[in-house]
Structures are given as structure tokens and as C-alpha cells.
Amino acid sequence: MLQISNLYKTFNANTINEKQVLNGVNLQLTPGDFVTIIGGNGAGKSTMLNMIAGVHFPDEGSLVLDGIDITLLPEYVRAQYLGRVFQDPMMGTAADMEIEENLALAYRRGKKRGFRWGITKEEKELYVEKLKTLDLGLETRLTSKVGLLSGGQRQALTLLMATLQKPKLLLLDEHTAALDPKTAGKVLELTDQIIRANSLTALMVTHNMKNAIQYGNRLIMMHQGKIIYDVAGEEKKNLQVTDLLSKFEIASGEEFANDRMILS
Amino acid sequence: MDNIMSIVMAIFGATSQGLIWSILALGVYITFRILNFADMSCEGSFALGGSVSAILVVGLHWNPFISIIFATIAGMLAGVITGFLHTKLKIPAILSGILTMIALYSINLRIMGQANTPLLGESTIISIVKGLLPAAKAIGMKDSTLQYWVILLVGLLFAAAMIAILYWFFGTEIGCGIRATGSNEAMVRAQGENTDRMKTFGLVLSNGLIALSGGLVTQTQGYADVGMGVGAIVVGLASIVIGEVILHKRISFAAKLISIVIGSVIYRIIIAVVLQLGLNTNDMKLLTAIIVTIALSVPVLKKNKTKVVREGEV
């Protein structure tokens, strides 16, 4: 499905700010995998996702998605295979445009855009149906500007947009980190529901270890640009937060000192 | 009585001028408001449109209508250049526009071979349309009054046509892509559209409209001048913000486009009235800057002030 081989990336090479963010990452996903990714700040989680999405290009290594080598494809070209939800709720939608216009843009992901009408009547019916599944009352506000929505509503909408055209891979980059706990829980439930309903393959970065254990069928832990722990199936289901903490200490030889992860 | 009459005539003339210049404002709106791209090449492409139109009519005796088509195409090419500088060479938006603008100054001089090209004795769009109508005397009108009516008619037709085209275009898939690019580039790329392509598209369309406006201005004023584009960007912005101040901001797209045309007309009327009151044309640029400043500050001044209530006060 997704084959990441020997991925290396250094930012600001040969300067005083040099930072090696990815240090030989290897990862192989099978179809239907829902992988949660945890790790401290600067572990390379977001960089890895951004590299799959084409925001950054690797110094070394290759990315193959479903048999297609996407290592050097521009971001907008590989977007046809990917669904993305960002940490910042503002990033996934166009605030100045209506809900239905945003959905129409997402509906055309991977299709050639021309001088046809930007949004059709049949589509609008589809959008109403899809918005109903979010259960946020957005189906009656098709022509509202997205800028008027709350952060949680915008993330839910972005999630819908990311999956409107079924992606080969769904990338979730801490997409609930900017939301209050209750909304975050709701958006996570929705995420799980959408992934199951469409049997999607997904990568989800999170800072919340409980969520990382609760959701998905596989969990990986990153540290200093490497994957230091990879667990799936029954073993993952039986994990406890304390297990993760001690695994981290063993694997990295450091104490897991990150308030955000311990407290959440 | 004479004084009032001359003010009325001045307003009439200003209205027709405002319609011709409104096409410039529509072009500026595409880059500044829709694409969120401060495109300075506008000043150069406005004069480019004028130069191309003038030289085709004077030098090659082409039909003036065909001359403005070529003026538009020339403007579109200028847009391609700015787009190339910004998207491929990664030069910041403002600088890309300034580079194109400054380069066009020399190019416009090359095109005309001189700084100024009068259309004396040549047929213009205005003279052709006027020729289709009965003579001024026959309908009991002064020749200058009829001239204004013709410019008004031509301006109205072009402005209406451009509004229709823009309304259609920004409803299409590409048009939606351009609007989204102006709002959130990262999102557009994530949805699989090339934002470089969208920006270039917008710049081409904008500069095409601006050059068309330059061509029409040349046709109505009877000459092209290499300096005719100086301040064009502020004139365009003035029209946009006046339109926004007068009509409410949350209105449909079509109404927004119409408000820009109305804004352009109002701007010209303000200028005309002030000129009648004794200021001279050299003061115009200062005046324009003041109008834009006032129009832009209205929303700030209108904002509700917080009412501070301390404990014990009611």
C-alpha cells in the first residue's frame, strides 16, 4: 500500500540551525491499516506526513503509494491520491467561500478542472446527504461562509472534504490538537466512523497516548527521526499508557518528559 | 445658472469616464481582492493597452475595435510575465509586478516610438459609434453633449459585458479554483490544484481587462501617453473601496462587481466636482490618495467602541 524506504531529511543543512528531522524512516502499510503515530516534539511525525503529502521533499529515500512512485511528484499532483486534515482548523478550508463551494473543490480533487460550472445541482444533494452524517446541522447552511464555522465544525468539514473522493491514504496531522477536549473527542469519533465506513488506510499523528491506543489497529512511536516502536493487533489493543512510557524510556534511553503527552 | 449647468455637464462627463475606467477597477479587483495579490504591473499594462490600441489605429490604420482586442491580448501577455516571475522564479508578488511595470515603460515607448500618440484625424471607437447615430444638430444637441452620450453608451456596454463574463468565469471550476487560491493556497494544493496555474490565470485575466480599459481610454480621450498608467492602481482601488463602502460588504458576487462600476463612477464625479470647485488637475493624485484613505478608514471609524462599565457605575 504505502512503502516508505530509508527516508532522510535535514533542515537548514550546514548552518548552525541544522536539524536532522528524519533519520532513515522505513514503514510499510497494508491496505486498511489505521496507524496512530506518537512521539515527542521534533520526533519527525509531522515532517514524515508532510513528506508523504509533498510539502517537503526528502534528501534521500523513496515513497511508493499503491505501486506509484510519488517521491518526486509535486504536492498538487499527488493530492489526487491523498486526503489530508491539518492541525490548524484554518488550513483545510477556504474561509471566504461557502460550505458547498469548499465541498465542490474537494469533490474535484484529482479531476481536471475546466470551464464547466463549478458546482452542480446533483452535487448539492450529495453534499446535504454527506453533511447529515456529520450531525452538526451543517446541511442547512450550505451557503454559509466557512469562516463563520467553529474550529470543530471546520475540522469535521475538512475531514468530509478529505474523504469525499475516496483517498488511497488519509493523512491526519494532529487534527484534534487545536480543539477543546469535548469537540476533539467528537471529531475523533467521526474520524473513526468515516475510516471504518469507507475502509480507508490512514495515518494519524496524535499527542494523546490514550487516543493512540484506543483508535486504529497499529501504533508507531517516533523518536529523533526514527521509528522506535511498532505494534499491531492484539498486542496493541492491550497496551496501557504506562507501557508506552516505559517502552519509550527503554527504546530511547531517555525519560519521557512531555507534559502534554502525560497529562492528556 | 451657467455655473450649475457646467457642474451638471461635468458630472455627466465624469459618469461616462467612470464607466470606461471601471473596467480597470474590475481588473484590479481580480488581483487585489479575489487573488489577494498586490499586482503593480497594472500601471504598465494600462498604458500598454493604450499604446497598442493607438499605434494599431494610427500606424497601421486598423479598425479601432480590432485594436482593442489586440490591446487586451498584449495586457494578458504582461500578466503571463508577472505570473512567470512570481510563480516560477519565486520573486515576491509586489516586486514581480513592479518589474513588469517598469519594463513595460520602455516597451510602451518602443511600441509608440514616442511618449505620446495622438489619434488626430483617425477613426476611433467613439467616432464610429457616433457615425451610426444622427448628427448632433439634427436632434438638437450640442456636439460635445452627443460625444458624452456615445462614451456613456460604449462604457455601459463594455462594463456590462465584462461583468457578465466575470460572473460566468468565477462560477466555473477554474474560477472557483482562483477564488480558493486567494483564500487558502495550502488547501487548494491539498485538493489537487496547481496554485501557480491559478495565480497566472488570474493575473492574465486581470491585466487583460486593465489593458482593455487602457485601450478604451485612449479611444475616448483621443491619444495614448506613456504616463497614462501612473496611479492607475490607486484609481482602481479607489473605485473598489468606494463601492464597498456604499454597498454593504456581504452581497452577492454580481452585486459586488456592479458596486465596483458604481464606485468608479462616483470616484470620477467626486474628482469632477472638486475640479469645478477650483482645484486643478495637478492636485488629482493627492486627491485620489485622500479619497482612498477616507474610504478605507470608514470601516475602522464605524467599528463599535467598547463601553467600559466599572463596578459602582451604571
Query: How do residues A70-115 score in pLDDT, each as one tens digit?
Result: 999 999 999 999 999 999 999 999 999 999 999 999 999 988 899 9
Q: Which residues of A touch B192 (CB under 8 A)?
A: 76-77, 79-80, 108-111
Q: What is the pLDDT at residue B307?
A: 74
Residue B176 to residue A93, Cβ atoms within 8 A: no
The CATH number of residue B140's host domain is 1.10.3470
How many Å apart are CA A176 and CA A84, to the nearest integer? 13
| CATH for A2-97+152-263 (3.90.700.10, 3.30.479.10, 3.40.50.620, 3.40.50.300) | 3.40.50.300
* CA nearest neighbour of A201 among A83, A62, A87: A83
Give contacts of B186 with chain A, Cβ < 8 Å. 86, 91
Segment A222-231, tens digit of pLDDT: 999 999 999 9
**Chain A interface residues facing chain B, Cβ-Cβ under 8 Å?**
53, 74-77, 79-80, 82, 84, 86, 90-97, 101-102, 104-106, 108-111, 113-119, 161
Predicted local confidence at residue A57, as pLDDT: 95
Which residue of A84, A94, A119 is in closest CB contact with B183? A94
Q: What is the pLDDT of residue B140?
A: 78
Give me the pLDDT at residue B249, please: 64
Mutate to test the interface with A, among B187, B188, B250 (most CBs of A within 10 A): B187
**What single letter denotes the amino acid at residue A201?**
T
Judge whether A216 and A204 are in contact, CB under 8 Å: yes
- Listed in sequence order, the DSSP H helices in chain A are 45-53, 75-78, 99-107, 121-134, 151-164, 181-197, 209-214, 233-237, 241-252, 259-263
Inter-chain touch A109–B191, beta carbons under 8 Å: yes
Identify the pLDDT of residue B296. 81
Q: CA B308 → CA A171, B64, B305, B311, B313, distances in Å? A: 47, 64, 9, 10, 10
Top-confidence residue, B272 or B170 = B170
Radius of gyration of chain A (CA): 19
pLDDT value of residue B6: 79
pTM of the predicted model, to two decimals? 0.91
pLDDT for B263: 95
Is B61 a member of any domain? yes
Q: Any chain A CB within 8 A of the CB of B179?
A: yes
Residue A262 pLDDT greater than 60, yes or no: no
Domain annotation covers residue B307: no
Q: Report helix angle B253-276 to B143-169, nearest 10.
A: 150
Choose the weakest-confidence range: A205-214, B162-171, B267-276: B267-276
| Residue B237 near residue B26 (C-beta atoms within 8 A) | no
Instruction: Check residue B87 and give its pLDDT.
Output: 97
Q: Name the pLDDT band for B274 (thresholds 50, 70, 90).
A: confident
Number of domains in chain B: 1
Mean predicted confidence (pLDDT) in A215-228? 93
Read off the pLDDT band of A256 (50, 70, 90): low
Query: What pLDDT was estimated at residue B23?
Result: 97
* Local confidence band at A257 (pLDDT 50, 70, 90 cut-offs): low
- Cα A48 to its chain centre, rounded Å, is 11
Q: Do A117 and B172 touch (CB under 8 A)?
A: yes
> Does residue B212 form part of some domain?
yes
pLDDT band at B281, cuts 50/70/90?
A: confident
Rg of the Cα atoms in chain B: 21
Of B173, B189, B190, the CB nearest to A116: B173
Q: Is the dihedral of CA A244, A245, A247, A251 positive or negative?
A: positive
- Is there a domain that residue B311 lies in? no
Q: Which residues of B touch A172 (CB under 8 A)?
A: none
Instruction: Flag if B183 and A119 touch (Cβ within 8 Å).
Output: no
Q: List pLDDT tens digits, range B189-243.
A: 999 999 999 999 999 999 999 999 999 999 999 999 999 999 899 999 999 999 9
Q: What percent of chain B has pLDDT over 90?
A: 69
Residue B98 has pLDDT above 60, yes or no: yes
Residues of chain A contacting residue B177, judged by C-beta atoms under 8 Å apart: 105, 113
> Of B149, B304, B136, whose CA–CA distance to B220 is shortest?
B149
Decide which of A257 and B168 is more confident. B168
Contacts of residue B258, Cβ cutoff 8 Å, sequence gap at least 6: B163
pLDDT exceeds 70 at position B188: yes
- Tens of pLDDT along B101-135? 999 999 999 999 999 999 988 889 999 998 888 87
- Predicted pLDDT of residue B219: 95
Shortest distance between the Cα of B300 and any Cα of chain A, in A, equals 20
Pick from B175, B184, B189: which is nearest to A76 by CB? B189
Record: contact B176-A118, CB cut-off 8 A: yes
Pairing of strands A202-205, A34-39: parallel
Whether residue A8 contacts residue A58, with contact meaning beta carbons closer than 8 Å, is answered with yes
Domain containing B121 equals: 2-302
Among A70, A84, A113, which would you mutate to test the B interface (most chain B Cβ atoms within 10 Å of its Cβ)?
Answer: A113
Q: Which residues of chain B make contact with A116, given a CB cutoff of 8 A?
A: 172-173
Average pLDDT, chain B: 91
% of chain B with per-residue pLDDT over 70:
97
Gap between the Cα atoms of A247 and A220, Å rounded: 11
CA angle A4, A188, A153 (to 5 degrees): 115
Task: Tell me the mean pLDDT in the region B62-89.
Answer: 97
Report DSSP state, residue A145. Answer: B
User: What is the pLDDT at residue A254?
Assistant: 66
| Whether pLDDT at A260 is above 60 | no
Q: Which of B174, B190, B194 minimises the CB distance to A115? A: B174
Q: B176 and A110 in contact by Cβ < 8 A? A: no
Over residues A156-174, the pLDDT tens digits come to 999 999 999 999 999 999 9
| CA gap B52, B284 in Å, rounded | 26
Q: Is residue B296 part of a domain?
A: yes
**Cα B194 to Cα B83: distance, rounded to the nearest angstrom:** 13
- Which among B182, B189, B192 has CB closest to A110? B192
pLDDT of B139: 79
